[in-house]
């Protein structure tokens, strides 16, 4: 069974009729903001046993892109469901229609976004200082680049571990 896209208005009607909405984003993203009543099952943790059988399922993410990218995997995991859909435009479209969401502004950004912001800032600062003050500052760029390469190859991100220990990530 393939996954069809539906708009937020139709999704809302299906939910009122008993459909289940599954948010495939990470727990951190879900905690920050999600559709009221959505169940969080991150795409990388999705298995058939976690999805309610014989029900109508609507998969959602932030913009709809992640659900479309993972459509084959989601479809395989939801094989015991009567109907399956992708929320076109995800949470962004849901909010655009003015439908209810649960927000927690006190939650920190997703840890990978924090890594991207920190790494990007360090590389930009290193490049600017290297260009204006001393070429030795280019070592900052090289160090951060080597860390990102190592994280990609090994699956261990030291910057993420460090950022998780920061006070704003203690909830």
40 is a catalytic site residue: no
Instruction: Please tell me the distance from the alpha carbon of residue 150 to that of residue 33, in angstroms, as a whole number.
Output: 31
DSSP-assigned letters across all residues of 95-130? HHTT--EEE-TTSPPPHHHHHHHHHHHHHHHHHHHH
C-alpha 162/C-alpha 78 separation (Å) is: 37
Distance, first Cα to last Cα, the chain: 40
Kind of pairing, strands 39-40 and 20-23? parallel
Residue with tokens 């999705």: 46
Residue 156 DSSP class: -
Of 40, 61, 141, 157, catalytic: 61
* Residues with a known catalytic role: 61
């Amino acid at each position: 069974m393939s996954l069809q896209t539906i708009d937020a208005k139709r999704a809302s009607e299906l939910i009122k009729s008993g459909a289940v909405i599954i948010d495939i984003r990470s727990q951190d993203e879900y905690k920050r903001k999600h559709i009221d009543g959505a169940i969080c099952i991150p795409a990388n943790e999705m298995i058939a046993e976690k999805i309610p059988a014989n029900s109508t399922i609507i998969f959602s993410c932030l913009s709809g892109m992640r659900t479309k990218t993972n459509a084959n995997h989601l479809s395989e995991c939801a094989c015991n469901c009567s109907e399956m859909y992708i929320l076109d435009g995800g949470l962004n479209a849901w909010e655009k229609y003015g439908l209810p969401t649960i927000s927690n502004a006190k939650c920190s950004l997703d840890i990978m976004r924090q890594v991207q912001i920190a790494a990007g800032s360090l590389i930009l600062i290193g490049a600017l200082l290297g260009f204006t003050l001393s070429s030795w500052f280019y070592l900052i760029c090289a160090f951060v680049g080597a860390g990102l390469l190592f994280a990609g190859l090994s699956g261990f991100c030291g910057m993420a571990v460090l950022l998780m220990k920061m006070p704003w990530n203690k909830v």
